[in-house]
Structure 1
Amino acid sequence: MDGNSERRPLLSSSNQSSGQIIPDIIPVPPIRPEDLPQNIGTNNLLACLVCGSMIDITVKKDQHVVKCDNCNEATPIRPAPSGRRFVRCPCNCLLVCNETAFRISCPRPQCRRIIIVKSDLPTNNNNNRSGDLDSNYEQSSVSIFCAHCHSSFLFSRDEWLARCPHCRKLSSVNPKLSRMRGFIFLIISLILLVIALGTIFGTMARTRLGYGGFIVLDIFLAIIFIYFIYRTIFYFRLKISKSTQSNAFT
Structure 2
Amino acid sequence: MLYLILIIEVILLLGALGDLGIITTIGAMAFLTVLYIWATKHKFGENLIPLDREEMPWLYDGIAELARKANIPMPRIYLLDDYIPNAYSFGNTIVLSLGLFEVLDEEEIIAVAAHELGHIKNRDTRWFPLIIYGRALMMITTLLLVLAGNLPVKATSLILYLAYELARSDFMKKREFLADETALRLLSVPLSLKRALEELKYYEDLRMKVKVSAVPSIEPNIEREKRFAFFTETHPSYEERIIRITFEMNNLMRMKQVQ
Question: TM (normalized to structure 2)?
Answer: 0.22
Question: TM (normalized to structure 1)?
Answer: 0.22
Return the structure number with greater relative CO, CA threshold 8 A, min gap 6: 2
Higher normalized helix content (fraction of residues)? 2
Higher normalized strand content (fraction of residues)? 1
